[in-house]
Amino acid sequence: MKRLNELQPGATGIISVVNATQHIAQQLMVMGLLPGVHLEVVGVAPFGDPMTIRVKGRSVSLRRADASLVELE
């Protein structure tokens, strides 16, 4: 079981669960990061953070710390 923050650019995956322990998790889910959804890591900013992922046809950027709440299958 991997977490989103561990993925490198080019990696893909399907979300298994979003740990709803913090408010940011709610915002991630509203953005479309839900169980069963396919995503792809597109890139990473110059200093390693934040990262950009593609989910449901849209690009979203988020910080690695927050990405750790997303578990993948």
Q: Where along the sequence are the contacts to other proteins (CB under 8 A)? A: 18, 20-21, 23-32, 34-35, 42-50, 52, 54, 56-63, 66
Residues 14, 38 contacting (CB under 8 angstroms): yes
| Helix (H/G/I), strand (E/B), else coil: 13 | strand
Which of 2/65 has CB closer to other proteins? 65
Dist. CA 39–CA 14, nearest whole Å:
6
Which of 18/72 has CB closer to other proteins? 18
The token pair at 2 is: 């991997």
Which of 1/8 has CB closer to other proteins? 8
